[in-house]
Amino acid sequence: TQSLRETLKEVIPRKQEQLKKLKLEHSQAVVGEVKVEHILGGMRGLKAMLWEASVLDPNEGIRFHGLSIPDCQKVLPSAPGGKEMTAESMLWLLMTGQVPTVEQSRELSRELAEKGDLPAFVEELLDSLPANLHPMTQLGIGVAALNRDSKFQAAYEKGMKKSEYWTYTLEDCIDLVAKLPALAARIYRNVYKPGTDLAPIDKNLDLVGNYSNLLGFGNNQTLTEYLRLYIALHGDHEGGNASAHTSHLVGSTLSDPYLSYSAALYALAGPLHGLANQEVLRWQLAMQEEIGTNVSHDDIKAYLWRTLKGGQVVPGYGHGVLRKPDPRFIALQEFCQSIPELKQSSIIQLVNKTFEVAPDVLKEHGKTKNPYPNVDATSGCVLYHYGLTEFKYYTVIFGVSRALGAVTQLVWARALGLPIERPKSYSMDALEGLIKN
């Protein structure tokens, strides 16, 4: 069985050749134009980043190396006794562009479990943080602190060759992904279940199986499977989303993977990005509180209008690229519909009913370019239903997941020798000058 490192050693030279050829033969080819609207509009729609692992189509949604979500659900290995794809099989696909065998994904699970424990000083650091510090702030602190043991940084200090960058980056990336469950679960324990014991990492379990165990939900197979699906699906969403882009930007300075990903987590912690999944739950529960559980479409419509007229966004709706319902939303909804208990859940039914009404209201409101739900519109509901009700924690789970795509790009950026990112900026005066000329 070929390991992840061996597979990458085979794949990387081909990609390096491809890049060399592109640079040599097509450097001056024009693939789009820069308009003032791009500069004023958060670079929306500007084709300006190299990202290997996934591409987002506005109508079809995400494809991971060409595979749609249903494709991945069919071909990516699951955990023993489970059906949903594992985080490690998604990581393997993202990194190599290949579907791992069951043995390969299990081997990666074993390696991650072996590396899963936290250094004692990081445990102490997390335990010293105040419980009212947002879990996302704590996660970023914990991830950044892991950089004390960065193999990339240590080798850089000694003076490694550029061609070796990716190998040390890969080692840091694997260590980081391995430690995220213990880090994220410790934060959960400290903030919400102080005084309780954390389970030890089980060397025979996959990454998310261990995460679920550490959170105290390991005996709930449905929730564990849901977490596997959730974490695989949120892993990558091409390069331009704020968290992935942040990790890439910071990594481009040769900051190590821990610092790069810590920065990404603080982008994810914004309510227009990953924090939306906490906001959705807050908003749906406030709706339930105000209008009860047995709500009609008209009740929801009126509530939506109150939100919009209050000058707030409807959390979980809209997207910078997507123009149809997010296929990740659909996949999570399908999961709920396949489990009778979840189908009956009042919070899941409320999310469904909201989906039946919200797109028309948002169309009538006329502002958002995409009136359909994104993944955050539903991702917290199953967690809530099964007793993981602390919604300020939800973005942490997204943060455990998004590492899969971010670390993949860090490895590829170093393997391809991508330069420090440094776009050109203009003031409004300078722009006016450019327009006149």
> Containing H/E element for 281?
helix 276-291
Q: Which is nearer to ligand NMX, 100 or 240 (CB)?
A: 240
Closest C-alpha to 257, from 409, 54, 94? 409
CB of 356 to ligand NMX, least distance (A): 16
Give 320's strand partners: none
> Distances from the Cα of 100 to the Cαs of 4, 14, 86, 398, in angstroms?
9, 19, 11, 23
Q: Which does 272 bind (CB under 5 to 8 A by kind): ligand NMX, ligand MLT, none?
A: ligand NMX
Does 140 contact ligand MLT by CB under 6 A? no
d(CA 63, CA 55): 6
Task: Name which position in 228, 237, 385, 414 contacts ligand MLT (CB under 6 A).
Answer: 237
SS3 373: strand
Q: Which is nearer to ligand MLT, 39 or 321 (CB)?
A: 321
Q: Is the separation of the CB atoms in 380 and 281 below 8 Å? A: yes
Does 241 contact ligand MLT by CB under 6 A? yes
Q: Which does 199 bind (CB under 5 to 8 A by kind): ligand NMX, ligand MLT, none?
A: none
d(CA 420, CA 28): 20
Stretch near ligand NMX under the rule CB under 6 A, chosen from 25-33, 81-89, 373-381, 383-391: 373-381
Task: Name which position in 374, 378, 379, 408 contacts ligand MLT (CB under 6 A).
Answer: 374
Does 370 contact ligand MLT by CB under 6 A? no
Q: Which does 316 bind (CB under 5 to 8 A by kind): ligand MLT, ligand NMX, none?
A: ligand NMX
> Distances from the Cα of 164 to the Cαs of 152, 155, 169, 419, in angstroms?
9, 9, 9, 15
Task: Name which position in 218, 368, 416, 421 contacts ligand NMX (CB under 6 A).
Answer: 368
Between 165-192 and 151-158, two packed helices, what is the crossing angle to 10 degrees? 140
Show the tokens assigned to 79. 């955990």
> Distances from the Cα of 382 to the Cαs of 349, 388, 429, in angstroms?
11, 8, 50
d(CA 229, CA 315): 22
| Residues acting as catalytic residues | 273, 319, 376
Instruction: Tell me the backbone φ, ψ of residue 292, rounded to 5 degrees.
Output: 85, 180
Q: Which is nearer to ligand MLT, 216 or 315 (CB)?
A: 315
Binding mask 260-289 for ligand NMX (x = CB under 6 A): ------------xxx-x-------------
Q: Which does 46 bind (CB under 5 to 8 A by kind): ligand MLT, ligand NMX, none?
A: none
Q: Which does 368 bind (CB under 5 to 8 A by kind): ligand NMX, ligand MLT, none?
A: ligand NMX
Q: Is the separation of the CB atoms in 291 and 299 below 8 Å? A: yes
Closest C-alpha to 38, from 29, 50, 46, 49? 46
Q: Which does 20 bind (CB under 5 to 8 A by kind): ligand NMX, ligand MLT, none?
A: none
Binding mask 315-354 for ligand MLT (x = CB under 6 A): -----xx---------------------------------
CB of 237 to ligand MLT, least distance (A): 3
Show the tokens assigned to 361. 């209201």
Summarize as ranges the residues that interact with ligand NMX (CB under 6 A).
Answer: 44, 272-274, 276, 308, 313-320, 367-370, 374-376
Binding site residues, ligand MLT, CB under 6 A: 237, 241, 320-321, 374
